[in-house]
Amino acid sequence: MNEIKRHTLAVLVDNEAGVLSRVARLFSGKGYNIDSLAVGTTDDPAVSRMTIELLTDEKQARLICSQLRKLICVHSVKRLSAERAIRRELVLIKVSAPTHEARNEIIQIANIFRASIIDVATESLTVALIGEDSKTQAIQNLLTEFGILELVRTGTVALERGRLTIDEQTKEKDEFDYGKNVL
């Protein structure tokens, strides 16, 4: 219960000014550092979906979810378990490539990772990669020796596998029943 691990939260919110700060404030007010946060509109333009990742223990994760649900701007909150979620992140890495050899090598690495080269200049290449953090970390390690000039991540976005969606209340119920029947 007190083990610190990564928790992925999917949150549907109003697509309105100030909503991001209302949500972020809940975390900062408790002294949590948000590991990663990605926001974008959904198929409904009035609704945005946030994917929030944070390192904390089970109890705090439950608490933060129930507090998120109290915000008027929040439609629904669901915790996505590591096994049942697909998580992806886009990373752009600008690598120093002043020579042919360097460029070729970087392109090879990119191919192995199924990354794409999205910008080429005389002294640099920009690699784009979509994946989970183990994969993005691996390519980052390999490219470090060429000299990473700049790196940007979108933050992880996640969906549940299969037919389940954020609107299914089953998991919320499980989570809420925690502590019951410890009798």
Partner 1 sequence: MLMTGAKILMECLAEQGVDTVFGFPGGTILNVYDELLNYPSIRHILTSHEQGACHAADGYARATGRVGVCFATSGPGATNLVTGIATAYMDSSPVVCVTCNVDLPLLGKDSFQEVDITGVTMPITKCNYLVRRVEDLADTVREAFAIARSGRPGPVLIDIPHNVTQELGDYDPLRRAEHGMSGRLGQLMKRSSQNFRAPEPDYRDIDALADMIRASKRPLIICGGGVVRSRADWEFEEFANRIDAPVGITVMGAGGFRGLNKLATGLVGMHGSQASNMAVDACDLLIAVGCRFSDRVALKPSSFARNAKVVQIDIDRSEINKNVETAHHIVGDAKRVLQLLNERLEQLDHAEWKEYVFAFKTQTEYDEAEDRLTPVQVLDAIARAVPRDTVYTTDVGQHQMWAIQHLHFEYSGQLITSGGFGTMGFGLGAAIGAQTGNPDKVVVHITGDGSFRMNQCELSTVQRYALPIITVVFNNGALGMVRQWQKVSCDGRYSQTTLDRGPDFVKLAQAYGIEGRRVTHVAELEDALKAALSTGAAMVIDCAIGIDEMVRPMVTGGSDITHFAVD
- Part in contact with partner 1 (CB under 8 A); list of ranges 19-27, 93-101, 102-110, 155-163: 19-27
31 belongs to the binding site for partner 1 (CB under 8 A): no
Report the residue from 15, 96, 130, 176 that binds partner 1 according to the rule CB under 8 A.
176
Rounded to the nearest 10 degrees, the angle between the axes of helix 100-112 and helix 133-144 is 160
- Which residues are within 8 A (CB) of 102 and not within 5 positions of it... i.e. 6 or more apart? 96, 146
Distance CA(11)–CA(64), nearest Å, equals 12
Distance CA(143)–CA(132), nearest Å, equals 17
> Judged by CB under 8 A, how many residues of this single chain contact partner 1?
25
Report the residue from 35, 42, 69, 153 that binds partner 1 according to the rule CB under 8 A.
69
171 belongs to the binding site for partner 1 (CB under 8 A): no
**Cβ closer to partner 1: 25 or 161?**
25
Minimum separation from the CB atom of position 183 to partner 1 (A): 6
Distance CA(48)–CA(62), nearest Å, equals 22
